[in-house]
Amino acid sequence: MSAAVSPGPTTPDAERVAAPDAPVRRRSVRTAERRWGLILAAPATLHTLLWIGVPIIVAIVLSFTAYDIIHAPEFAGLENYATIFTDGLFWRSVLHNAIIAGVGIPISMFLALVFAVMLNRAIPGQGIFRVMVFLPHITATVAVAMIWLWIYNPSENGLMNVVLGVVGIGPLPFLTNPDLALASVILVTIWQGIGLKMLIYLAALQGVDGQLYEAADLDGANFVQKFFHVTVPMLRPATFFILITALIANFQTFDLIYILTEGGPANSTSVVTYRIYQTAFQEFRVGLANAQSVILLLILIVLAFLSRKIVGGTDGD
Amino acid sequence: MSFSRRTLLGTTGAAAVGLGAAACGSGGALDPDVPLDLAVDDTDLAGSISLLTPDFVGDDRPVLDQEVIAPFTERTGIDVSVDQVDWNKLNEKISTGIAGGIIADLIMTGVGWTQPFAEKGIFAEIPADYIEGLGFDESVLAPARFEGKYYSLPQALDLRFLAYHPEMFAAKGITEPPTSMDELAEVALELTGDGVVGFDYLSGSAGSARQAFVFLLYAFGGTMFSEDGLSTKLHEEPGRLTLQWMLDRMDDGSIDYDMQAAEGQPSPFQQKKAAMSLVATGNWPTWMQMTPELCEEGAAGVFLMPSGVGGDPVMFQGGTFISVSSLSQNKDAAGAFMKHMLEPEFLGIANAATGKVPPTPDIPENEEIQSSLLTRFGLENLEYAGATEGGTAGYMQIRTNLDGIVEGCLTRRASVEETLADMKSLCDDAISRLR
């Protein structure tokens, strides 16, 4: 498109562009901007390279070695990766992560959205309710796990068993029975995960244009129709972000399992990070643990890609 | 000077590999084959040492600090700092310590731990002539050996056997403790009912499911590994009999897998929800604190695990073993403190606090030890303490995973045959990777 066809309005910028020395000055401005951009981005870039890039490369290198912490690593080729493919416990741990994610994330996202919509309205005590829902997220997981250990106490004195006892159920061994343990862990992840998701949804709700609701009102839409045809679509970018971060957080779950169940009973709550930890620090197989970490990284990349496909990513944000 | 993207990535990669190689080379110089020099006069020594221990928790800790360490520090001027860690976190504590180059000078571990860490060169050799002078029984020294040399010494024994409520026996007209596994099964079933299980064997009040399995394995005439530690025997007939016996007891209701000892609360046996129970000598202080009535004369009875194959009864031997790190920068001082801890006077004081059993009966008269029914019984039957964990240098990897395999069988996630095959596969894999 040429300027002669479409001159457009005359602005100070346009005048500057029209000046004879404009290309030189523009280049120097861009060079200066680029230099400042590089300087400002340098700390974050350096941090990323040093603390994320280097460990990832080291992990990849070590994944091809037999290394037991004490003796020098020896090149082992693809042996560690071959071991992983026959390690039933590793894949059971992946499955447990998938179950926790498949059950826990949708439930916590749904509840977070409900809470966000409710707490987006001007109601008495709105701030207090927001803090209450958000509090589990900012509480240290160690403290959360200790509280739930008490709640899940298998004797009749455990809080959950006291409650169930009222309706004549129990006492149940929540964390020591393999049929109940994973479900019990999922409940904790849901409880702990709602807060941050709600906060993100709340922020996203602030950005939904009120005119859309007015237009829907004019069309005679009821509350449910507005929720599903206005609110939910407008929250798609936030939903994608929440889903990705929740998936990644799910596959990084460690401290909760470490304290609540140590992967037991009968490995029924073992998750990938716990299995990696066991491999490295209980079995002294650091090379294998690094190979497991690389597989975990690949799993997360695939999940992020799939999530983007399913939810539609941030396009249109 | 300009950097292209390729240069930057290449430099980063090289730096990463370099850092990785540097990290892998950490850990200091291992010198496990040079025996400790324990003949050094400890008053000539100086400096400070660290002790990593899974014992001396809570109220026991002041006893360690004030009655065991303080006299040593006063006499020698050597400072001893204590790092306390739970048993189930001890392995990670040691491995992360090695990785970070901050391993303690003295490390206290358990039965079955010596061979793996000796094989890796973490523990320093202890001279045999010093050990001969201690007069410890061969049965308590066996777990301290690796390839004919000693790398640890028992500081405490945690002996396990069975306890029962005499009044529950009397109510059913049972006059004597069972003397065979069949009798034990019959008695357990007879005592089951009215909210009471006959036999609390898996609640965790005296060890994990893995240890419960190993105990019974010996009762059925089995062992975990061959004499040289290079092949497993877990999958053989005694292993099958053991698992089947446990499953049968759960089937008839006399063992309840869901009955668990909640943290900080009395065990099912203490609460009289179990007529018989697996107990450890270390349970006594908890009984004294929570259910003192159980410690009164005649309130509880004890007996050894009967044999399932017509042999002698069996006692399980756990315990705490002390080693000097081969990476210690102050080995002489560490060796001196190990000697100090193994002196009869301090063995008596330390074990009275933890409720465990001194590895030798030759200790000064100690009222707390004498007042413990469990310790007395353990000491009297030390000759039967043949059931021990470990026996191979690959045991730390096996130990970690064996719990899950046993639990998988007990919760019907795997058949007995599958479980035995899994055990064999686990052990073969770990042993095949020994250097």
Return the residue matching tokens 């049929």: A179
Whether residues B223 and B266 fall in one domain: yes
Cβ separation B260–A67 shorter than 8 A: no
- Please check whether residue B43 is in contact with residue B75, taking contact to mean a CB–CB distance below 8 angstroms: yes
Is B95 in Cβ contact with A69 (below 8 Å)? Answer: yes
Of B262, B411, B435, the CB nearest to A266: B411
**8 A C-beta contact, residue A156 and residue A170:** yes
| Strand spans (E) along B57-152 | 79-84, 106-110, 145-146, 149-150
Q: Which residues of B touch A (CB under 8 A)?
A: 12-13, 15-17, 19-20, 23-25, 27, 30, 88, 91-92, 95-96, 98-99, 120-122, 257-258, 260, 262-263, 265, 396-397, 400-401, 403-404, 407-408, 410-411, 413, 433, 435
Specify the DSSP class assigned to residue B415: -
Count of residues making up chain B: 435
A residues 185-204 closer than 8 Å to B (CB): none
Domain edge (last residue) among B376, B405, B423: B376
Collect all residues of chain B within an 8 Å Cβ-Cβ radius of residue A280. 95
The reply to whether B30 falls in a domain is no
Region of A124 on the Ramachandran plot (φ > 0 left; ψ -120 to 50 alpha; else beta):
beta
Element (H, E) at A65: strand A65-66
Does the residue B26 lie in any domain? Answer: no
How far is the C-alpha of A29 from the C-alpha of A26, rounded, in Å? 5
For B27, nearest residue in chain A (alpha carbons):
A70
Distance CA(B60)–CA(B80), nearest Å, equals: 17
Say if residue B336 is in the same domain as residue B404. Answer: no
Q: Does A84 touch chain B (CB under 8 A)?
A: no
Say if the Cβ atoms of B397 and A285 lie within 8 Å: yes
Please name each of the domains of chain A with its CATH number.
12-62 (no CATH), 85-311 (1.10.3720.10)
Cis peptide before B306 (omega within 30 of 0): no
What pLDDT sits at residue B33? Answer: 63
Give pairs for B413-418: CB < 8 Å, separation 24+.
B413/A178, B413/A266, B416/B240, B416/B243, B416/B244, B416/B247, B417/B240
Whether chain B has a CB inside 8 Å of the CB on A146: the answer is no
Q: Are B254 and B185 in contact (CB under 8 A)?
A: yes
Q: Quick check: A72 contacting B, CB < 8 Å?
A: yes
Rounded to whole angstroms, the Cα distance separating B433 from A73 reads: 14
pLDDT at A23: 64
Compute the nearest-CA separation of A161 from chain B (Å). 13
The residue among B421, B22, B14 whose CA lies nearest residue B240 is B421
Compute φ and ψ for A65, nearest 5 degrees: -125, 160
pLDDT at residue A303, rounded to an integer: 85
Do B249 and B196 have their domain in common?
yes
- Whether residue B10 lies inside any domain: the answer is no
- Which residue among B16, B122, B400 places its CB closest to the CB of A57? B16
| Contacts B411 to A, Cβ<8 Å | 177-179, 265-266
Q: B207: Cβ–Cβ under 8 A, 6 or more apart, which residues?
A: B160, B215, B278, B280, B316, B318
Closest CA to B93 of B342, B396, B392: B396
DSSP A32-46: HHHHHHHHHHHHHHH
In this prediction, residue A314 carries a pLDDT of 52
Q: Considering CB atoms only, which of B265, B400, B408 is closest to A266?
A: B408
Please report residues of B whose CB lies closer than 8 A to that of A267.
Answer: 404, 407-408
A179, closest residue in chain B (CA to CA): B411
Looking at every residue in chain A, the average pLDDT score rounds to: 87
Domain that holds residue B230: 160-316+391-432
Q: What's the confidence (pLDDT) of residue A311?
A: 67
d(CA A143, CA B374): 36
How far is residue B112 from each of residues A122, B108, B399, B422, measured CA to CA in Å? Answer: 64, 12, 9, 20
Check whether residue B201 and residue B215 sit in a common domain: yes
Q: Which residues of B touch A173 (CB under 8 A)?
A: 258, 260
Give the residue among B111, B125, B359 at the shortest CA–CA distance from B215. Answer: B111
Name the minimum distance, in Å, from the CA of B338 to any CA of chain A.
24
Residues within 8 A of B (CB atoms), A 284-303 only: 284-285
Say if residue B258 is in the same domain as residue B405. yes
Q: What is the mean pLDDT of residues A231-241?
A: 90
Count the neighbouring beta carbons within 10 Å of the beta carbon of residue B39.
10
Closest to A77 (Cα-Cα) out of A94, A61, A90: A61
Peptide bond into B344 cis (omega under 30): no
Task: Categorise residue A271: left if φ over 0, alpha if ψ from -120 to 50, beta otherwise.
Answer: beta
Separation of alpha carbons A209 and A230, rounded Å = 10
What is residue A107's three-state secondary structure?
A: helix
Tokens read off for B286: 């908890």
The residue of chain B nearest to residue A51, with distances taken between CA atoms, is: B16
* Residue B33 in domain: no
Q: Which of B260, B401, B404 sits opposite A176 (nearest CB)?
A: B260
The phi and psi torsions of A19 (rounded to 5 degrees) equal -65, 150
Burial B2-35 (b: 16+ CB within 10 A, else e): eeeeeeeeeeeeebbbebbeeebeebeebebeeb
Tokens representing A123? 């109601």
The string of pLDDT tens digits covering residues A124-154 is 888 898 899 899 999 999 999 999 999 998 8
pLDDT of A16 higher than 60: no
Query: Mean pLDDT across the stretch A235-259?
Result: 91
- Asked if B134 and B266 sit in the same domain, the reply is no
What's the token pair of residue B423? Answer: 């055990």
Please choose, from the candidates A245, A246, A210, the residue with its C-alpha nearest in 3D space to the C-alpha of residue A226.
A210
User: What is the mean pLDDT of the segment spanning A205-233?
Assistant: 91
- Inform me whether the C-beta atom of residue A61 falls under 8 Å from chain B C-beta atoms: yes
A72 pLDDT band, cuts 50/70/90, is: confident
Q: Enumerate the residues of chain A whose CB falls inside 8 A of the CB of residue B260.
A: 154, 173, 176
Nearest alpha-carbon partner for A121 in A242, A223, A18: A223
In the structure encoding, which two tokens stand for residue A165, read together? 């006892």
Give the rounded percent of residues in chain A with a pLDDT score beyond 70.
89
Strand ranges (E), B327-379 = none
Bigger pLDDT: A74 vs A24: A74
Contacts of B99 in chain A (CB under 8 A): 69
* Cross-chain CB nearest to B120 (options A57, A70, A177): A70
Whether residue B285 sits in one domain with residue B184: yes
Chain A: give the shortest CA distance to residue B110, in Å: 15
Largest CA distance in chain A: 89
- Assigned domain for B345 exists: yes
Tell me how far apart the alpha carbons of residues B177 and B166 are, in angstroms, rounded to a whole number: 9
Paired tokens of B383: 């000759």
Retrieve residue A148's tokens: 């739930």
Report the half-sphere exposure of B34 (CA within 13 A, side-chain side): 11
> Per-residue pLDDT for chain B (435 aa), expressed as one digit of tens each?
444 545 544 544 454 444 444 444 443 445 556 788 888 887 788 889 999 999 998 888 999 999 999 999 999 999 999 999 988 889 889 988 888 888 999 999 999 999 999 998 899 999 998 998 888 888 888 899 999 999 999 999 999 999 999 999 999 999 999 999 999 999 999 999 988 999 998 887 777 889 999 999 999 999 999 999 999 999 999 999 999 999 999 999 999 988 877 777 889 999 999 999 999 998 998 899 999 999 999 999 999 999 999 889 999 999 999 999 998 989 999 999 999 999 999 999 999 888 888 888 777 777 777 889 999 999 889 889 889 999 999 998 898 899 999 999 999 999 999 999 999 999 999 999 886
235-264 in A: which are within 8 Å (CB) of B?
Answer: 262-264
Task: Locate the DSSP E strands across B73-165.
Answer: 79-84, 106-110, 145-146, 149-150, 153-164
User: Which residues of chain B lie closer than 8 angstroms to A45, CB-CB?
Assistant: none
Instruction: Indicate whether B36 belongs to any domain.
Output: no
Q: Decide if B25 and A70 are in contact by the 8 Å CB cutoff.
A: no
Q: How far apart are CA A115 and CA A190, in angstroms?
A: 13
Q: List the single residue in A61, A71, A263 with the smallest CB-CB distance to B17.
A: A61
DSSP reduced 3-state for A212: helix
Mark residue A125 as left, alpha or beta (left: phi above 0; alpha: psi -120 to 50; beta: remaining): left
The full length of chain A comes to 317
Residue A70 has its nearest CB partner, among B19, B96, B98, at: B98
> Do B67 and B10 contact (CB within 8 A), yes or no?
no
Say whether B24 and A67 touch across the interface (CB within 8 A): yes
CA–CA dist B366, B361 (Å, integer): 11
- Please give the Cα distance from A103 to A91 (Å, whole number): 18
ipTM tops 0.85: no
Give a yes or no: residue B105 inside a domain: yes
Q: Is the pTM of this model over 0.95?
A: no
Instruction: Give yes or no: residues B403 and B304 share one domain.
Output: yes
CA distance A138 to chain B (A): 26
Is the Cβ pair A89, B401 closer than 8 Å?
A: yes
Quick one: B46 and B174 in the same domain?
A: no
Extended strands (E) in B176-215: 197-200
* Set of chain B residues whose Cβ sits within 8 Å of the Cβ of A31: none
- Better-scored residue on pLDDT, B391 or A14: B391
Q: Are residues B169 and B231 in the same domain?
A: yes
| Count of structural domains within chain B | 2
Please tell me whether residues B294 and B427 are part of one structural domain: yes
Q: Considering CB atoms only, which of A62, A73, A153 is closest to B262?
A: A153
Which of A10-19, A271-280, B79-88, B306-315 has the weakest average pLDDT? Answer: A10-19
Q: Among residues B351, B376, B401, which one ends one of the domains?
A: B376
Angle between helix axes A178-206 and A105-119 (nearest 10 degrees) is 40
Per DSSP, the three-state class of B79 is strand
**Averaged pLDDT, A17-33:** 68
Residue B384 lies in a domain: no
In this structure, the answer to whether residues B182 and B277 fall within a common structural domain is: yes
The CATH number covering residue B265 comes to 3.40.190.10
